[in-house]
Structure 1
């Protein structure tokens, strides 16, 4: 009888431990989440938005344990220009093969590979970013609160075969050179 009570107690403890460390997936609310981008050139910069198609954050208890996201590349939108100021031309060029080639590559993906705790609610993420069918590693910090998360990423576009206007690949561009990096500010709601 004593042995049976010990086994039952061990089982209760084991099940409690399993449920406390069980992973949960939280679906990102794509309608409420925002991705803002900034691309810089020698004579200024342009900014805009791009939409998430879907995404999930995975937690072990309250700790971030994973994540995966799909971005709708066809939604690239320049917000610092208005119609008639070159907005349509820039949006079209960003969607063309010179840049993101969205007809052949309508989505980009980000998959978390490993996560380290940096500070309270702040994690350093190593992930795989796929743009134009090319996957490269990227590292960034993400801050997670109750129902939202924020991250800033700097992406070297040339790693994804986006070389248009890059001073790293073309000489004599002068003030027409475009920075190899573009920045993303991501605000997720879940």
Structure 2
């Protein structure tokens, strides 16, 4: 379990989800199974070209109770709201006072994924006392693995990966599992319920209760 000492007891602050090939359908199933008690800010990195993520956000916003939008530069993260990283660009989370802010940047030469789960997670490493739930869904490649490695050393983190039996492409989940940065592997239909259980869980120093 990748839980680092966090000082005071507290609830989870943020849910981050990474997906690639097969991700849009997986996100729909995940949202369908996730209970209403999940009122964290939710940030999604779905590998898509520019323009497609806004359509995905509109579709999810229409079909589910959460407010779903494409992330904009300078926006404040709100509970019960889902933010999808804009296709073809990079999304980071920063702190401004007591608020968490979305920062949207142009991709740099050499960035393999646009948007990148690794870059999003790396930005969370700079934020103190943040308690993060992370989910790695279906997709090619290994995006998310390096970011989880960094994040688990600096904050309270619990990471779930989609199992091979339900993943369209078992690339991203496999890479994270093999790297030892995943706490639990579950079929897609069970992940939403598990998230619901975890958001009711209090984080204490060095463990989850």
Calculate the TM-score normalised by the size of structure 2.
Answer: 0.23
Greater share of strand: 1
Greater RCO, 1 or 2 (C-alpha within 8 Å, sep 6+): 2
Max Rg structure = 1
